[in-house]
Amino acid sequence: MSEHNSTENKKQAALKQIIKDLHAGVSVEDLQKKFARLIKDTSPEEIANMENALIQEGFPPSDIQRLCDVHAQVFEKSLAKVKKVAKIPGHPIYTFIKENKEAKKILKKLSKAAKKMRKPAPKDTDIAEFEKGLNTLKEIEKHYQRKENQLFPALEGKGFTGPTKVMWGKHDEIRDHLKKTESLMKERDWLGLYKQFKTLLSAIKKMVFLEEKILYPTSAKKLDTMDWVKIKKGGSEIGYAWVTPSNLWDANLAEAMKGEQKMGKPEPGIKSPEDGKIKLEEGYLTAGQLILMLKKLPIDITFVDENDTVCFYSASEDRIFPRSPGIIGRAVQNCHPPKSVHIVEDILKNFKEKKKDVAEFWLQVEGKFIHIRYFPVYDAQGEYKGVIEVSQEVSSIRALEGERRILDW
């Protein structure tokens, strides 16, 4: 056993050295030759563990993210031999892979349409065809959001945080490529559009490769049945890209077979043993009333406690930003892409030190004006107890003029 562990440790150290050499500027070709014998038997889990170990040692996720495309080339030959995880239709991995198949079909059609766009003045029909395909491709956002909000928290619960941060960063790169492609479309810069689309195409294809050859096989090994049950149950709140998941792999049945089926869904909240109501500072509410009230408010609310753990979000039907049960119990830092974590940390630090009492942002998304505010919460003794995030779509409010003093429906 000790000899086996020693061999694995040496292999892990060598794998880590590949990334460090890439970081130092060693050419891909040199590394492929040098480590050809080593990497031919490299498993997806070893590669994922390597990334995790590097980040645990303090290697910045952003560095690994920049090297992600390159080290995929280094390991490509060995990874290409890894078979896709075979799962029953309806299992989250099966659904993720099914979405990837649809993405490939859409990209193939878009590639054909993009070639027609290279002309100085493409036909209106060709422009319409490309635009329609691009709008269809944008559904891929749901695929990435389910990974970020459902799959990644489950992996983080197993202490596997590094690779998820790297992959989230790659998601954001793809999002940026999509935005640039749309922008060039509006500017009618046809040659620039074609070049940018090729970059987008390459980025998505590489992401599919990394998902199916590294992420999903590793997830299959690290996560248990109950993890997958939670992932599937929360997935429907975010939605799916182009597909409807089968119910052949049934989350409720899987839960019941594990002997963990709950006898009815308890009403959440702390109830008074006398009347089933929650006593508040002013008045009282049942847990059901409180939930209905929070869901009906025209704002999104999320609460993070003093330990930076997400404890609650209002599950309204028209949420501005997607949320799913996977974020409950998750460190708030892990709920944001790596490039914005420093902003989260800065807000929390200033709230805990009582240097600021609000953090405020506003942005425009698809014609909507979104106002986002963060407020610190302190108890009667002045101790920091967490932060409330409040988001609201305020386009109609900003457009108000004059007065309305009578009811006008």
Where are the domains positioned within the chain?
2-79, 92-257, 297-398
* Token couple for 201: 């195409």
- Tell me whether strands 284-286 and 300-305 are parallel, antiparallel or unpaired: unpaired
Whole-number pLDDT of residue 125: 93
Conformation bin of residue 20: beta by default, left when phi > 0, alpha when psi is -120 to 50 = alpha
Whole-number pLDDT of residue 82: 55
Please state, in angstroms and as integers, the Cα–Cα distance from residue 112 to each residue in 109, 117, 126, 252, following that order: 5, 9, 10, 43
CATH topology of domain 297-398: Beta-Lactamase (3.30.450)
Please state, in angstroms and as integers, the Cα–Cα distance from residue 390 to each residue in 194, 340, 408, following that order: 39, 18, 28
CA–CA gap between residue 381 and residue 397 (Å, rounded): 36
CA–CA gap between residue 92 and residue 251 (Å, rounded): 10
Q: Where are the beta strands (DSSP E) in 198-336?
A: 277-279, 284-286, 300-305, 310-313
Whole-number pLDDT of residue 163: 77
Whole-number pLDDT of residue 338: 84
SS3 303: strand
CATH topology of domain 92-257: Four Helix Bundle (Hemerythrin (Met), subunit A) (1.20.120)
Whole-number pLDDT of residue 95: 95
Give the pTM. Answer: 0.71
List, for the chain, all residue ranges whose pLDDT scores fall below the cut of 70: 1-9, 11-12, 15, 28, 31-44, 63-87, 257-275
Please tell me what DSSP assigns to residue 329. Answer: T
Whole-number pLDDT of residue 43: 67
CA dihedral 175, 137, 118, 177 (to 10 degrees): 0
Please state, in angstroms and as integers, the Cα–Cα distance from residue 263 to each residue in 250, 258, 266, 338, following that order: 17, 14, 8, 40
Whole-number pLDDT of residue 315: 83
Please state, in angstroms and as integers, the Cα–Cα distance from residue 389 to each residue in 296, 368, 374, 392, following that order: 17, 18, 5, 10
